Structure 1
Amino acid sequence: MATEESDDHGGHGHHLPAVEDWPRGFGEASWWPFVTAIGGAGFYIGAALFLLGTGDEPLIGSLVGPSVFVASTVVFLVGLYGWLYHAFIVNFWEGDASEHGSSRLRMAMILFLGTEVATFGAGFIYYFFVRAGAWSTEGFPHLVGSLVLINTALLVASSFTLHYAHVALLNDDRKRFIGLLGTTLLLGIVFIGGQIYEYYEFIVHENFTITQGVFGSAFYGLTGLHGLHVTLGAVLIGIVFIRALFGQYSSERHTSVSTVSMYWHFVDVVWIFLVVVLYVGAVFTI
């Protein structure tokens, strides 16, 4: 992913942070994926430290976990920006994107989604283990309410709008493409806001927290992990949307749109599975 600066390739004026890939002189080597991975690992470390800082006898300060989480978010977003910038944006302006390279990037996304299946699969296996046997719903909030149904409808609708935005681009209908892409971004942001509001209702009004039994840890662990993925997806769609406003993408060059679509459809499917297993399935006793 190493590239030269824009002034050496026509001066497109895309001088933003991370304009140089690094380390220099190592061919395809780049540290940006490594930086992104460090930030991603910090999410889990911050969550673990948060749990260690709660309870009647916390082992560490209550602000350590949130501080690590916030710092990890900054590192993750910086690494993600540098990675995406040099993998997609620079090459697009310089005209270096090729069908062969696009195929490799799509395959990379498929492999990445394979790791995501393993990540969520581990979480669901944990839930199935704690779900086995006797199960009391005492103390559970009302899980299947209007909010989760509306949120589910919004996320499903966003998959359709993103799909048809991609179709519009392939048909060279840029106005429809940008409109549907912006609609997808809006639906994703509203979904994230709805999940935050649901957490607020459960924690403040229902007194249902992550420390409330094995179901509490499973519920917030799985839905929180999914929420992080939706947030990342919204960031990616936002980047694609801004690039689209600047005139990028066409029916021949749309690798970023197709790879981001694959990711967004994945988090949509995971959410439907979450609703069926975690929300609906939790209220039934075995």
Structure 2
Amino acid sequence: MASKDIYFVPESSKWPIVGSLALFTLFAGSAMLLNQSPNAKYVFIVGIAAVIYMFAGWFSNVIAESLAGKYNKQVDISFRMGMGWFILSEVMFFAAFFGALFYARVLSVPWLGGEGSGAVTHQFLWPAFKASWPMSVMPDSTNFTVYKDIVPAFGLPAVNTLILLLSGVTVTLAHWALKKAQRNYLNAWLAVTVALGGLFVYFQATEYHHAYTELSLKLNSGIFGSTFYLLTGFHGFHVTMGAVMLAVILLRSLKGHFTKNEHFAFEAVAWYWHFVDVVWLGLFVFVYWL
């Protein structure tokens, strides 16, 4: 068992370099797909497989160390600080995209329409430009159109909002059950949370298909298309990863891994999931509703 006075230092690991190579391959494959390069799908598949291999191997090592009792209170504090800093970095990540949306809607587009310091630009470059949002077609001196047929806020986005809010409740109920050592309730509420996460991703994919095929809203549809897909797409990726992590926690719980006093792995995933919930509320308000 780990001593409370000695900080556990793991042995040298291959996983950081494996993770770096896996992510590089995945990103390279993604870029090749976007540029329609030959054999891009094979590079992308290899990248996906390498990332899965890295996660499975690294997670198994950490889980084995935890079950062996090698982690003490000092390590637990380090884990909590590390997860806190990670979530802060994610906050900054999304803040950059929300900032870009704010700049486009509140500053850039009104300036192009002649407000404030943009009067000269409007007069000499795009006198026919009328500031409005959403805007999906870049203006020029003779032609300017705006994108009016957007995804309605109180359709699938509202349903997904309810789903994520409900999942925040169910993961909290699972946490309470864990603290009370009620294993059956813990497993049940975790399973419901994973199912809700999967349902959210399914509905978002359905929304994307509708927007792309029926509304002609694409990534290159001006500033609106870019911000819409970047914000909702990255959030959807985070929900997907969160659902995968919750599924791993569920499998561990089914094996009886956690106790009511030692369950930081569960708490870390729950923190992440609540962060995803909060980000979606901002997306729903500022991307879909307003």
TM-score (norm 2): 0.77
Displacement of 1:49 in angstroms is: 4.4
Deviations 1:233-257 (A, max 9, x none): 1111010001111111011221110
- Are positions 1:215 and 2:253 aligned together? no
User: Aligned residue pairs: how many?
Assistant: 247
Displacement of 1:162 in angstroms is: 0.5
* Residue among 95, 117, 130 paired with 1:121: 95
- Are positions 1:264 and 2:264 aligned together? no
CA RMSD of aligned residues (A): 2.3
Displacement of 1:43 in angstroms is: 5.8
* Corresponding residue for residue 159 of structure 1: 168
* Residue among 77, 86, 94 paired with 1:103: 77
Q: Which runs of 5+ in 2 are unaligned?
A: 1-8, 111-130, 135-145
- In 1: Cα distance, 2:256 partner to 2:87 partner: 28
- In 1: Cα distance, 2:175 partner to 2:168 partner: 11
Alignment-mate amino acid for residue 98 of structure 1: N
1:50-61 pair list within 5 angstroms:
50-53=33-36, 60=37
* Corresponding residue for residue 233 of structure 2: 224
Q: Which runs of 5+ in 1 are unaligned?
A: 1-25, 54-59, 282-286
Alignment-mate amino acid for residue 249 of structure 1: F
Change (3 A) 1:189 1:207: same
**8 A Cα contact 1:33 1:80, kept in partner:** no
* Residue among 260, 279, 286 paired with 1:277: 286
- In 2: Cα distance, 1:39 partner to 1:227 partner: 21
TM-score (norm 1): 0.78
Query: Over alpha carbons, which structure has the higher Rg?
Result: 2
- Are positions 1:77 and 2:52 aligned together? yes
Displacement of 1:165 in angstroms is: 0.6
**8 A Cα contact 2:151 2:288, kept in partner:** no
- In 1: Cα distance, 2:27 partner to 2:102 partner: 21
- In 1: Cα distance, 2:46 partner to 2:281 partner: 31
Displacement of 1:136 in angstroms is: 3.8
* Corresponding residue for residue 182 of structure 1: 191
* Corresponding residue for residue 19 of structure 2: 36
Deviations 1:82-120 (A, max 9, x none): 222222x10233232333322211111111112111211
